[in-house]
């Protein structure tokens, strides 16, 4: 007896450790994990950092540019210059000007005073940062969508698993009754075999469901960026039908949808690009200051001993006159691209509105189907329970009971299908409206 108690304690301890090893996660926890740990977040964050560096680069063009230049020339063979015969000599004179070594060191500061193209680039830095931020939000919305979809799929398999376990319990109770009747000669062996075949089919369904649930959990872990080696157990929702609740007159604002916001930002950036191409026709003004020193000599050591300094300041104006229609063509290309973005914005707005209206209508239909199938499920269960009781009393036949069981299973299947549809429809509806984050916050 003590050995049995010890074995039971050991079994319970092992079972407790297995249960504790499986981390129970809620839908909100999965979304938070994905937003924090998924690798795609790193890419989106890098895009924001890249946009900031581009802004710094644009600003740097208007800051002073300092450069230095040091040269040491060894004139291995100096050039010969010829003075023709005449005034200085009856014959031509050959001379080598300069020294063997020429050295110089200069430092120059350049400062742009006016360049409209650079100014436009500096102004475009802010919308470029906003675009990177919008892409981060887009990535977060995609993570939320994928996480919720994967989580819902796990929940559906969990519900199906619960239903099959309930049906298994009822079938085993029926088998016990049939076995007693068969042993007493009241029932036929074929009746017992039919019920046992139904149980075997149900056990096969359970095996498939368990495999599908495991695959769905792995997909969930992949969607949130969790290692597949982690063991998790999803927490079921309290009331699935609450997910289908809707406001009576849902408002749709296309400006709330991230895809449209990205297009708006792209239009703003392209408008700056047009301004930048227009600025290419304007003059640019800059100034510079240069200071340096040079030294000469026919011996390397002496050439570095004596230095003669010099300095220069200047103003430079660059006036574009004709570029062979290159700048005109670039400006026209930018204008056409801006027109295309604006046209695409209108097309996208119409498509987004259509998607929203369709998703709203689909959600209403799936919600109605869920209500009808739920009522049918309750009715079929009552019929099955009544048939079971009547069969136990000998009032109903086994065929009546099996027919009621088939109707009950069919009602369960229809209910699960409508549940899947309503969960998917609600997710698509929130995505079309651009409210995935507020939707997930209610869990």
Over residues 265-318, the pLDDT tens digits come to 999 999 999 999 999 999 999 999 999 999 988 888 877 888 899 999 999 999
Instruction: Write the pLDDT tens digit of every residue in 231-276.
Output: 988 887 766 666 656 656 567 889 889 999 999 999 999 999 999 9
pLDDT given at position 19: 40
Whether 14 shows a pLDDT value over 80: the answer reads no
Question: 184 phi and psi, to 5 degrees?
Answer: -85, -5
Q: In what order do the strands lie in the sheet with 308-318?
A: 65-74, 101-114, 284-297, 308-318
Calpha distance 389→262 (Å, rounded)? 63
* Model pLDDT, residue 250: 66
Long-range contacts formed by 211-214: CB under 8 A, 24+ apart:
212/157, 213/154, 213/157, 213/158, 213/161
pLDDT of residue 55: 93
Question: Taking 70 as the threshold, does the pLDDT of residue 319 lie above it?
Answer: yes
pLDDT, one tens digit per residue, over 61-95 is 899 999 999 999 888 888 877 777 766 677 777 77
Q: How many CB atoms are closer than 10 A to CB 428?
A: 19
Q: In terms of Cα–Cα distance, which of 241, 240, 40 is closest to 146? A: 40
Q: Please determine, for residue 48, whether its predicted confidence score (pLDDT) is greater than 60.
A: yes
- Residues 433-442: pLDDT tens digits? 988 888 888 7
């Amino acid at each position: 007896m003590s050995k049995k108690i010890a074995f039971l304690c050991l079994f319970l301890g092992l079972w407790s450790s297995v249960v504790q090893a499986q981390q129970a996660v809620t839908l909100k926890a999965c979304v938070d994990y994905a937003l924090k740990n998924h690798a795609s977040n790193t890419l989106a964050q890098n895009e924001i950092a890249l946009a900031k560096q581009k802004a710094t680069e644009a600003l740097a063009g208007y800051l002073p540019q300092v450069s230095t230049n040091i040269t040491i020339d060894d004139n291995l063979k100096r050039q010969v210059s010829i003075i023709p015969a005449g005034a200085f000599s009856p014959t031509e004179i050959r001379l080598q000007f300069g020294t063997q070594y020429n050295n110089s060191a200069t430092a120059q500061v350049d400062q742009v005073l006016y360049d409209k193209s650079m100014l436009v680039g500096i102004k475009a830095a802010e919308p470029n940062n906003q675009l990177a931020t919008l892409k981060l939000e887009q990535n977060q919305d995609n993570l939320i969508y994928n996480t919720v979809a994967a989580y819902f799929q796990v929940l559906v398999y969990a519900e199906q698993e619960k239903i099959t376990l309930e049906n298994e319990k009822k079938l085993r109770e029926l088998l016990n009754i049939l076995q007693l009747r068969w042993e007493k000669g009241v029932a036929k062996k074929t009746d017992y075999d039919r019920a046992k075949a139904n149980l075997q089919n149900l056990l096969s369904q359970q095996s498939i469901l368990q495999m599908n649930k495991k695959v769905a959990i792995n997909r969930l872990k992949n969607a949130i960026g969790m290692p597949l080696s982690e063991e998790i157990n999803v927490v079921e929702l309290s009331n699935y039908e609450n997910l289908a609740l809707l406001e009576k007159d849902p408002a749709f604002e296309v400006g709330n949808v991230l895809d449209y916001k990205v297009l708006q930002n792209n239009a703003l950036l392209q408008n700056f690009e047009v301004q930048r191409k227009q600025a290419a026709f304007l003059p640019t003004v800059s100034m510079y200051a240069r200071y340096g020193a040079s030294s000469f000599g026919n011996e390397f050591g002496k050439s570095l001993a004596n230095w003669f300094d010099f300095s220069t300041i200047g103003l430079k104006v660059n006036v574009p006159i004709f570029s062979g229609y290159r700048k005109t063509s670039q400006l026209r290309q930018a204008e056409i691209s801006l027109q295309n973005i604006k046209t695409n914005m209108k097309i996208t707005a119409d498509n987004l509105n259509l998607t929203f209206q369709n998703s709203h209508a689909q959600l209403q239909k799936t919600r109605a189907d869920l209500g009808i199938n739920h009522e049918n499920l309750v009715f079929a269960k009552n019929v099955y329970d009544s048939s079971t009781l009547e069969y136990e009393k000998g009032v109903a036949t086994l065929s009546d009971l099996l027919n009621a069981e088939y109707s009950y299973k069919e009602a369960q299947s229809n209910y699960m299908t409508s549940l899947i549809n309503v969960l998917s429809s609600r997710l698509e509806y929130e995505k079309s409206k651009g409210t995935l984050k507020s939707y997930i916050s209610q869990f």
